[in-house]
Structure 1
């Protein structure tokens, strides 16, 4: 059984518009960045990791689990952080939002409270536990969304354009949070500084992999592609 994420001949289209064309990748590195122009297929690729999108052709496996046949099990292993944290924040207060993520995990109230306390402390949100979640800053909201994912202890975290709505200070805050993660992290982004110290960077163009290397090489290829 292969650890990590495996794409085997993956193709996908929305209507008559192909967005991925025969992608084959094995992602085992701890931190992987995915870059590409708008419409390159990178967000579709990211959503395939936890079965939000299923391939028209080919197979995606997460730690040996086929996303088509074992979608529910895959989603228990993969946490997804969206571009807009307001899509993920559902409860009135910060602590309640974290506890909601744990509601289906069969934990006692004491266990939920303790895990919530620990994850809020880890991301500098402990002082906001009882505050209205919608009043947090943009960066704090994105940290809350990440905390709500991590509190469930996924094996993989996927983040789709997590800094798009953030200013430089909040983007730096999120980057620092990413650096502390010990789970596998796959980040789709246009923010080159976010992935310049990652283990591997993949560049997509028109649904195909056009670069796949260490950051210095892949980012140079991306810059050439964009110019």
Structure 2
């Protein structure tokens, strides 16, 4: 997917959350790092239209996130920092089925769609479970299944390994690295994005670095040390 920022900026109540940004992204794996409040979450939400630019524009494959909001949402999926907040139905399988059911899928076709994405992520055994019965890693994968079943071209992750133990962190990281879809990952987990082809570093509402992961991590540590 082609992601383009054309002098896009975000201002909330007179505060500049993101300075004007012109940028083109095409890589399959894009990391986004920065200190808390640096603008990285605003940047990600500009991409899927959850935040509209105060000036300039953001486009995905030529679709304007402000004018073509519905089409943009169909192309993107978003995994929140706490996936328990986006699993809203009482049973995992029902939650995964919610999106395709809303699009008119039903019966055998619906069951096959849910089963296929569950098998893909290795969580078929969780379909009849309740969210509160799952581990943090299982919750992440259940939330991801509910996104992937809608066939997005881009998945945005907000701190996907936050507060996970080592076993679950490795499982979620391996899943992200193995995705067929384009992925943009906001993270403080530097190991997770260490081999990404492109990493953006944000600092106080501006893009401070854009390049290879190794150099981006060095820049991020310089900023953190100030």
Q: How many residues align?
A: 225
Which residue number in structure 1 is paired with residue 213 of structure 2?
Answer: 215
How far 1:89 moved relative to its partner?
0.3
TM-score under structure 1 normalisation? 0.96
How far 1:139 moved relative to its partner?
0.7
- Decide which of 30, 33, 36 is 2:34's aligned counterpart: 36
How far 1:32 moved relative to its partner?
0.2
Q: What does the per-residue CA deviation read over 1:43-88, in whole Å, with 9 as the maximum and x for residues that have no partner?
A: 0111111110001011000111000100011000000110001111
Which residue number in structure 2 is paired with residue 73 of structure 1?
Answer: 71
How far 1:108 moved relative to its partner?
3.0
Which residue number in structure 1 is paired with residue 136 of structure 2?
Answer: 138
User: SS at 2:199's partner residue?
Assistant: strand
Which residue number in structure 1 is paired with residue 194 of structure 2?
Answer: 196
TM-score under structure 2 normalisation? 0.96
Verify the 8 A CA contact 1:84 1:165 in the aligned structure 2: no
Which residue number in structure 1 is paired with residue 163 of structure 2?
Answer: 165
How far 1:165 moved relative to its partner?
2.9
Which residue number in structure 1 is paired with residue 116 of structure 2?
Answer: 118
How far 1:16 moved relative to its partner?
2.1
For 2:187 and 2:68, how far apart are their aligned partners in 1? 27
User: SS at 1:127's partner residue?
Assistant: helix
Which residue number in structure 2 is paired with residue 99 of structure 1?
Answer: 97
For 1:168 and 1:21, how far apart are their aligned partners in 2? 36
For 1:219 and 1:88, how far apart are their aligned partners in 2? 30
For 2:107 and 2:160, how far apart are their aligned partners in 1? 31
Unaligned runs of 5+ residues in structure 2 are: none
Moved over 4 A (4+): none
